[in-house]
Amino acid sequence: MNQRWRLLVLWMLPIGMALLLGWQVLGSNEIRTTNTSSTSVPPANAAVARMSYGRFLDYIEAGRVTSVDIYEGGRNAVVEAIDPELDNRVQRVRVDLPGLAPELINTLKEEGISFDIHPVRTAPPGLGILGNLLFPLLLIGGLILLARRSNSMPGGPGQAMQFGKTKARFAMEAETGVKFDDVAGVNEAKQDLQEVVTFLKQPERFTSVGAQIPKGVLLIGPPGTGKTLLAKAIAGEAGVPFFSLSGSEFVEMFVGVGASRVRDLFKRAKENSPCLIFIDEIDAVGRQRGAGIGGGNDEREQTLNQLLTEMDGFEGNSGIIIIAATNRPDVLDSALMRPGRFDRQVSVDPPDIKGRLSILEVHARNKKISNDLSLENIARRTPGFTGADLANLLNEAAILTARRRKDSISITEIDDAVDRIIAGMEGQPLTDGRSKRLIAYHEVGHALIGTLVKDHDPVQKVTLIPRGQAKGLTWFSPDDEQMLVSRAQLKARIMGALGGRAAEDVVFGRAEVTTGAGGDIQQVAAMAKQMVTRFGMSDLGPLSLEGDSQEVFLGRDLMTRSDISDAIARQIDEQIREMVKICYKETLSIVRKQREALDELVEILVEKETIDGEEFREVLSNYTVIPNKERTIPILN
């Protein structure tokens, strides 16, 4: 309703101004009349003709004028005169007078002509004053309305004085609905953060032995591992005032705004001490100083300087615990990472199989799961999945269950959800033809090498159903958590990736190989390069010939020069090429030996479009001995 009134006033403002101007124009004119006893303005057709002033004087001298009505202060008159050209009939004519001259009045009196002077009707004094004030009042009211409307808009001109205020959300007792029991798969991180909550609730337990409350806790981990969820759990468990904001909310386009917001945040926090401050994505404001190209004295660095001072400066901030989260710890400023500012750095890594199982149990509480569906099997099939990935997996499976009008989630929906998350949406099946058979040979080539090479992960299924950009897929599932990968496993993965190209080469010939192996060859090159340059698994020896695999930070890494000489770089290329050449030669040998099994598996795949791992191994076992995939873990001395 208020919005409608504002729009109405904005529309009425120009209309009122136009009416006011029209009223002032009318008020400045004298009111005309045609009746001696009336002061109304004579109609336009009251006089059918006009008479010049000179002829009017001639008519007066000739005694032909019978009456005169003077209007507009002597500028206009309506005259009744006898016109001899119309058989001496009386005619009303309009005369433009030069003004109310005394000579004209004396002449009319001397000739005995009846005349009347009609005064100008003016508006009442009060109405005139109101008319003069109406325009300024409307103008001022419109400006006030626009200013109030700007104040209500984020970042409007009326909020100029609010730029320096913090945008942190504040709660005396944050009711996030999340407790530590709702967070699973990150037990080590939970233990460290539970101590922070205990510090706030029972500080005497630690101060009695001389321990001090930590000033800051930095949560580090890949996206989706639960850093923000842990912060919500701390807020729900602590029961103390809680401030939450993002690192990007400090920085604005105006100089000094970020530092002012930092000061205001800590001022409010000290007023509510003890309290918690959670800064999500702190790398937005905490990046390394001096890393900007062309100078580093920018707004973000001033904000960081103020944050460093407030966290551990001259005055200190006892009773305030800062919790921050980031997935780019490599770009944070070293002064921000030191003890005294962030005393604890808690790593939140992707969960292992036990962690995945506990996460699945948490997210399966409100979902209908089939009795024959084992969450442990799902946990084994999803290595590398984070907590967010597992939550999305169960949600996608629930959506598929509802779409298929089933009562509970089964293993079929879980398999389809995993395939959709990893590879993309399911496409239309391929029509039977040369392309379908070529893709079948390619995928069976991957699965054949993955099954016959001992150190490769076992095949889960082979399918010709397109997903995403892939026209066919071969799925491998590791049988255990692969924290460490051996040289034999890396070599087996290179051979498995080359299996598709090798099958095309053996069956169709070198001239008929396709671009379908483009992605496989990129993976092969990346793995071979890492074996040579990072892991020391080549004839060059145990040397690390490249930096770490962290993402490039422009200000720090742009001008970093390579420490590898041209000769070493040439040897690296030779080692990579030789390694891939040997693996491809072995892959071709296996495919040629198992050509008969390859053809039968392709016929089955073209007919069924999907073969699971058990059926694939059963068919292949009729032609050759399948190596045992069980691995022994070496004991480290």
Residues 6+ apart with CB under 8 A from 497: 446, 520, 521, 523, 524, 527
Interatomic CA distance for residues 471 and 466, integer angstroms? 4
**DSSP characters over 236-270:** HHH-S-EEEEEGGGS--SSTTHHHHHHHHHHHHHH
Interatomic CA distance for residues 414 and 395, integer angstroms? 10
The answer to whether residues 133 and 140 touch, using CB atoms and an 8 Å cutoff, is no
Q: Is 333 exposed, middle or buried (0-12, 13-18, 19+ CB in 10 A)?
A: buried
Interatomic CA distance for residues 304 and 313, integer angstroms? 13
The answer to whether residues 538 and 532 touch, using CB atoms and an 8 Å cutoff, is yes
End-to-end Cα, the chain, rounded Å: 79
Q: What Cα–Cα distance (Å) separates residue 304 from each residue in 216, 300, 301, 311?
A: 15, 6, 5, 10
Interatomic CA distance for residues 517 and 535, integer angstroms? 26
Closest CA to 357 of 390, 384, 388, 389: 390
245-266 as b/e: b if 16+ CB within 10 A: bbbebbbbeeeebbbbbbbebb
Q: What's the CA angle centered on 518, arms 513 and 522, to 5 degrees?
A: 135
Interatomic CA distance for residues 412 and 377, integer angstroms? 13
Q: Which conformational region is residue 452 in: left (phi greater than 0), alpha (psi within -120 to 50 degrees), or beta?
A: alpha
* Side chain identity at residue 127, one-letter code: L
| ω into 274 cis (within 30 of 0) | yes
Kind plus residue range of the DSSP H or E element containing 131: helix 125-152
Q: What Cα–Cα distance (Å) separates residue 188 from each residue in 214, 349, 442?
A: 17, 10, 44
The alpha carbon torsion through 398, 611, 605, 510 (nearest 10 deg) reads 100
Q: How many distinct helices (H) and strands (E) make up the chain?
A: 21, 14
**DSSP characters over 24-53:** HHHHHSPPP-SSTT--SPPPTTSSSEEE-H
Q: What's the CA angle centered on 448, arms 443 and 451, to 5 degrees?
A: 125
Interatomic CA distance for residues 448 and 618, integer angstroms? 12
Half-sphere exposure of 579 (CA within 13 A, CB side): 28
Reported in sequence order, the residue ranges of 406-539 that DSSP labels E, i.e. its strands, are 459-463, 473-476
Positions annotated as catalytic residues are 443
The answer to whether residues 306 and 350 touch, using CB atoms and an 8 Å cutoff, is no
